[in-house]
Structures are given as structure tokens and as C-alpha cells.
Amino acid sequence: MILPAVPINENFRLEALKALEVLDTETEKEFDEITALANFICDTEVALISLVDKSRMWFKSKNGVSICETPRDNSLCSHAILNPETPLLVKDTREDERFNKETIQLEDKVVVFYAGIPLVNKDGFALGTLCVMDSKPRELSEKQLESLNSLAKQVVILFELNKKNNDLQKIQRKLKKKNEALKDFARVISHDLKMPLANIITTTDLLKLLLDKKLDKESLQYFDYIKTSSFSMSGYISDVLDHYESESLIHNKPEKFSLNELLKEIIELLSIKPDISFNFPENAPVLESNRSALKQIFFNLIGNSIKYNDKERIEITIDHSQDANFYYFSITDNGMGIPENQIETIFDLFTTAGMADRSGNKGNGIGLSTVKKIVENLGGSISVNSKEKVETTFNFCIKKKL
């Protein structure tokens, strides 16, 4: 065989090949199906997806042989890539002066017939070939050659899709790593800030007590502003911690518990006043689920129903139903409601409806984002329906078994 020439763009071609990150990868069903189909269509003994590396031919897929690579200098495919736009068709290698100097052999098969379609990427570089071979002279019909061309294009498309998927996975890994670092940073900062804030609140009360008779009304108000701001910051920090620690809740094992007992426990934690009435599910359902995660969901939603309520008597109704796969819940209150233009973004992190709660404080947009995150980790979804100044209903479901 006459040694094949080296393409004029060889360095760029090799860079393009390596950039695909396909060399020496595992076999894949999609590529093996293409070589099997190529053999069937052309009625040949061997079909290869052959990539021309610097000094070797490496086979991403092979049908009819078992070897994975051969030397580049002794290959027909290295000749085929010299003319990227034209298939290399050799009816009989024994009668072709380029190849008849010695017998061409692939594994235990003598290669007499060869047809190779260059695998050309979007930049025009021939990376290798989709080729078929046989041990006897042959010719391909126009339809067979057309089909082989189509299959070669599919090979290139698969290469590019695999590369995009690999790139996306790399990006996801980097983002996950950065996200973990951000979580650790937020967790450490939040913990470190809580103690100084507690000291500010305590010191403010102490100073106010010591200087009570020496300060005028306006000065005392400044102390109140400091304390109120400190409590607001402390609540914000607690919400940040809850958000980043919520993922750990998903790892808790399912347990059996009464939904109504869980709701009573939450009401005690919230220190409910007499002007608030609750309607629990009548059938007092017993659930088998992640109790801690569900407690966090209800704690946030019930807390919001109380905070964002401008009625003299607050009414909150909690309903439950289930089917074979999901538990369904709803929480309805007679509160302020949510503006229609805020409904779609209410679950986004750091997004608020822009209104103050019944104490005059504005939310930080973390609580509902945390709720959505927990619900989705439990295999469910959450939505909200609201009518301003009338009522708001949060509906969510979680999977029975994860």
C-alpha cells in the first residue's frame, strides 16, 4: 500500500477530533446500531466507525471484527479523509495500484472491497470514516451509497450531541461544586452572625434600661429601631440557614404519624393567639412520610397565613386527600391575598409580593422558595391560588414513596 499523505490541515483536524472527547470511550448502542445497519444495507462483512488519530485508526464501533484499532499507515480510511467531500470507493484493492503492493488484512479478513464515507464536522474537518468492507469485489448501488452517506451524517450528529452532553455535565459539576461552596459560606456566615446580633439585642436592652431616665423620647426610639432591625436581621439569617439546610431533610426516613397531631405541634410552636381559628382535616389521617420535611413545609405556610393576614379574626383551613401515589394538601386563609402579577414569581428565591405583614415588616423571599425546594425534593409540586383582600390557597402534593 502506498503510504497515505497527511492532510494539509492535520493539526487542526486532530484538535477537532480530540475536542469531541470520543477517542477510547466505551461502546455505545447508538453507534453499534449504525454499523450493523450499514452492513445490512450494503450486504458486506465488516462495517466500522473509524477515527483517524495521529498514528492509529481507532474504531468507535465495529461490526464483523473485534479489534479496536490498527496502525494509521496501513489503513484505507487514512486515504479516505484526504478528500472530505468525496467517498472513497475501491471495488477491488488487488487491482488498485494504490493498494495492490501487498494484501490488506483486517484481523483475519482480507479486505478486497472498501467504501468509506468521510465523517466531516461542521468546520469541514474529516475526523474519520463510516466504512464497509468485504473479502470479495463489490459495487454499491446509488441507493446503497446514498444510505451510507445518510448514516455517516448521523454519526457526526451523534458525536456532536455527545460532546454537548459532556459539556453540560461538566458545567453541572462545576455549578454543583460552586453551589456547595456557596452553601458552606452562607452556613458559616449565618452561624457567625447570629451571636453578634444576639449581643446587639441584649446590649440595646441593657443600655436602654441603664439610660432610661437620661434619654428623651426620640433617643429611646432609636434604641427600638436598633432592636427591631436586629430581630429582622436575625430572622433573615435563620431563613437563610433553613433554606440551605432544607436539603438534609430529604434524607430522613419515612415514619407513620397523625397529620392532625403534627399540625397541633406546629400551632404550639407558633404560639397561636385566641383570634386565630383552625379547621383540621375531619378524618384525622395517618400518613407515612418524611415527618420532619412535612413539618417544615406546614410551619412556613401556616406562619405565612398568620403573618400576611389583615382580618380581625384569622381563619385557616387545612385539607387532605390521597391516591395510590400521592398525598395532597391545601392550606386556605382569609388573609391579604397575593397580587395577581406576583403569583408566578412568588416561589422564586428572594422574591416577595412587596407588601408588609400584619406587624408592618416585609418578607425576605426565602420561606416560600424553601417550601418549594422541600416539596420538589419529596417528589411533588406546589401551586397557589389567591384573591386579593379575600383569601389565599396553597396546594401541594408529595409522593407516598420515594
Q: Mean of the pLDDT values across residues 241-267?
A: 78
Q: Please identify, among 161, 187, 222, the residue that sits at the C-terminal boundary of a domain.
A: 161
- Is it the case that residue 365 has pLDDT exceeding 90? no
| Range with the poorest average pLDDT among 171-185, 261-275, 287-301 | 171-185
Separation between Cα atoms, residue 199 and residue 173, nearest integer Å: 40
In the prediction, which pLDDT does 367 show? 77
By the 8 A CB rule, do 1 and 99 touch? yes
CATH code where residue 67 lies:
3.30.450.40
In this structure, are 29 and 153 located in the same domain? yes
DSSP structure class, residue 95: G
Run of H or E including 113:
strand 113-120
Q: Let me know if residue 396 belongs to a domain.
A: yes
Q: How many domains does the chain have?
A: 2
Q: Mean of the pLDDT values across residues 278-290?
A: 89
Regarding predicted confidence, which is higher, 226 or 326? 326
In the prediction, which pLDDT does 173 show? 87
Q: Phi and psi for 238 in degrees, rounded to 5?
A: -60, -40
Q: Let me know if residue 2 belongs to a domain.
A: no
Place of cell 406546629: 266
Q: Let me know if residue 211 belongs to a domain.
A: no
Q: Please identify, among 161, 193, 223, the residue that sits at the C-terminal boundary of a domain.
A: 161
Q: Do the bridges between strand 276-279 and strand 314-322 make them parallel or antiparallel, or are there none, so unpaired?
A: parallel
By the 8 A CB rule, do 204 and 230 touch? yes
Q: Let me know if residue 107 belongs to a domain.
A: yes
CATH code where residue 398 lies:
3.30.565.10
Regarding predicted confidence, which is higher, 282 or 193? 282
Q: Three-state DSSP class for 316?
A: strand
Query: What's at 235, amino acid-wise?
Result: G
pLDDT confidence bin for 320, thresholds 50/70/90: very high
Q: What is the mean pLDDT of the chain?
A: 85
Q: Let me know if residue 362 belongs to a domain.
A: yes
List of residues 6+ apart from 187 with CB closer than 8 A: 241, 244, 245
Query: Which of 114, 95, 22, 108 has the alpha carbon at shortest distance from 65?
Result: 108
Q: Let me know if residue 231 belongs to a domain.
A: no
| Range with the poorest average pLDDT among 55-59, 139-143, 306-310, 353-357 | 353-357
User: What is the Cα Rg of the chain in Å?
Assistant: 35
In this structure, are 258 and 128 located in the same domain? no
Left if phi > 0, otherwise alpha if psi is -120 to 50, otherwise beta: which for 91? alpha
Q: Let me know if residue 295 belongs to a domain.
A: yes
In the prediction, which pLDDT does 396 show? 94
Kindly write down the DSSP assignment for every residue of 23-46, as one continuous string: TTPPP-HHHHHHHHHHHHHHT-SE
Q: Please identify, among 161, 196, 226, the residue that sits at the C-terminal boundary of a domain.
A: 161
pLDDT confidence bin for 131, thresholds 50/70/90: very high
- Is it the case that residue 163 has pLDDT exceeding 80? yes
A 10 A CB-CB count for 394 gives 24
Q: Let me know if residue 227 belongs to a domain.
A: no
In the prediction, which pLDDT does 248 show? 61
Q: Report the 3 state secondary structure along 35-80.
A: HHHHHHHHCCCEEEEEEECCCEEEEEEEECCCCCEEEHHHCCHHHH
In this structure, are 149 and 270 located in the same domain? no
Give the domain extent around 257.
252-402
